[in-house]
Amino acid sequence: MFGNLQPQAPDKILALMGEFRADTRQGKIDLGVGVYKDPTGVTPVMRAVKEAERRIWEAETTKAYTALGGEPAYLSAMSRLVLGETLDADRTAALSTVGGTGAIRQALELARIGNPGLTLHVSDPTWPNHVSMARFLGIPVAEYRYFDEASRGVDFEGMKADIGRARAGDLVLLHGCCHNPTGANLTADQWAEVSAILARTGAVPFVDLAYQGFGDGLDEDAAGTRLIVANAPEALVAASCSKNFGIYRERTGVLLAKVEGRAARDLAAGTMAFLNRQTYSFPPDHGARIVQTILDDAALAADWRAELEEVRLGMLSLRRQLAGEMRSLTGTNRFDFIEHHRGMFSRLGATPAQVQRIRDEHAIYMVGDSRLNIAGLNEGSVPVLARALVEAGV
């Protein structure tokens, strides 16, 4: 049996983490994996998370199983964080999942039960796991145009033409904010246009919201998601708490399914809990409890929001500094897109050979497609990166 196993292609981003660790050069810079780092290079535990953990530890009297679909208080707190005022609780089923990835996996499984013939439409490019999970499940994947290599913005005409070809019952995956890997995002008007196209075709929006609070603010980053979910008769949202709560390893996420009414909601919720049972039974509790403790306590929530805002503003300031540095080194505004992109990532548009050269000559690690993690920089390393980019002829 096990003789039949084939080696699996490694995840390039995770492989890069290993290569960076193995590099013994002084002053090496990790701009690879999408994990937030503060200016000292540390991925901190947020203050509110520490405090919530203390309270949980003190109050917790049992480790008995919770609920198959997750704790209702967590589900309701996350539904409100994601959908805000637009939440229609009568029509929204929620599921606690193993991170945002678990929510994506369960969303694909749920959609496939609903429509076994569906195609998943993803942006070109997208987070590699979107494609690999769909393929693993045997779901056909179609790419829609998204990134405009010339402007490093969104090729919106191409995107509209391609998603316009999705059939009724297909899933169209949209990054809610902070597009991974490009950093290029839709404007509010463009979200509205996408929503109208989906309404015309009957394709179902599936929003991956992994960086709420990392772009323009918590509500701002959810605005596109809220609009598209409010306008669609049916929609899926996979939200991750890994980044905005900094609880990566706790594996905390939520799947929201907006459906046609109360009966459909109960049916969807039952099917979603069933999917948890078929995959890993009860979802992990600790991260969900942290998130719920924070969101349901006004003072803790305010402190969390303030710290998240510092993180967001820090990344924006690094974007500005890098764009400015590139302006003065190149004498052009070719790199201003770095300032316009949002979230942790920007795709620079360097060739694989240039990315490799920058790694070899400067020990600066970016993903092969020239995605860089802005949070891997600090004020001191921005000029180092800028010089390396210019030297490599990017």
Binding site for ligand PLP (CB under 6 A): 34, 99-101, 127, 175, 180, 208, 210, 240, 242, 248, 253
Is 148 one of the annotated active-site residues of the chain? no
**Residue 259's binding partner out of ligand PLP, ligand TYF, none, with CB under 5 to 8 Å set by partner kind:** none
Q: Residue 15, interface with ligand TYF (CB under 6 A)? A: no
Q: Which is nearer to ligand TYF, 14 or 168 (CB)?
A: 14
CA distance 339 to 309: 17
Q: Which residue in the shown chain puts its C-beta closest to ligand PLP?
A: 99
Distance CA 7, CA 200 (A): 43
With contact defined as beta carbons under 8 Å apart, do 235 and 206 qualify? yes
Name the token pair of 24.
């013994």
Is 180 an interacting residue with respect to ligand TYF (CB under 6 A)? yes
Q: Which residue has the tokens 């995605």?
A: 371
Q: Does 11 bind ligand TYF (CB under 6 A)?
A: yes
Residues in the chain: 394
Residue closer to ligand TYF (CB basis): 197 or 344 = 344
Report helix, strand or coil for 27: coil
Residue 11, binding choice from ligand PLP, ligand TYF, none, Cβ under 5 to 8 Å by partner class: ligand TYF
Spatial contact of 371 and 181, defined as CB atoms under 8 Å apart: yes
Instruction: Please confirm, yes or no, whether 57 is among the known catalytic residues.
Output: no
Question: Is-contact 202 235, C-beta < 8 A?
Answer: no
CA-angle at 182, arms to 192 and 159, nearest 5°:
40
For residue 99, the minimal CB distance to ligand PLP (Å) is: 3
Instruction: Please say if 63 is a catalytic residue.
Output: no
**135: Cβ contacts below 8 Å, ≥ 6 apart:** 141
Q: Which of 30, 162, 208, 221 is catalytic?
A: 208
Q: Is 208 a catalytic residue?
A: yes
Q: Which residue from 96, 21, 67, 72 is spatially nearest to 250, judged by alpha carbons?
A: 96
Between CA 336 and CA 351 the distance in angstroms is: 19
Candidates 127, 147, 304, 335; binder of ligand TYF (CB under 6 A) is: 127
Which of these is catalytic: 238, 239, 243, 304?
Answer: 243
d(CA 377, CA 216): 19
Residue 345 Cβ vs ligand TYF, minimum distance, rounded to whole Å: 7
Interatomic CA distance for residues 213 and 313, integer angstroms: 10
For position 14 contacting ligand TYF by CB under 6 A, the verdict is: yes
Q: CB of 380 within 8 A of CB of 341?
A: no
100 contact, one of ligand PLP, ligand TYF, none, CB 5-8 Å limit per kind: ligand PLP
Q: How far is the CB of 104 from ligand PLP (least distance, A)?
A: 6
Catalytic residue among 94, 127, 269, 375: 127
Q: Provide, rounded to whole angstroms, the least separation between the CB of residue 112 and ligand TYF.
A: 21
Q: Which are the catalytic amino acids?
A: 127, 208, 210, 243
Name the residues that contact ligand TYF, by CB under 6 A: 11, 13-14, 33-34, 127, 129, 180
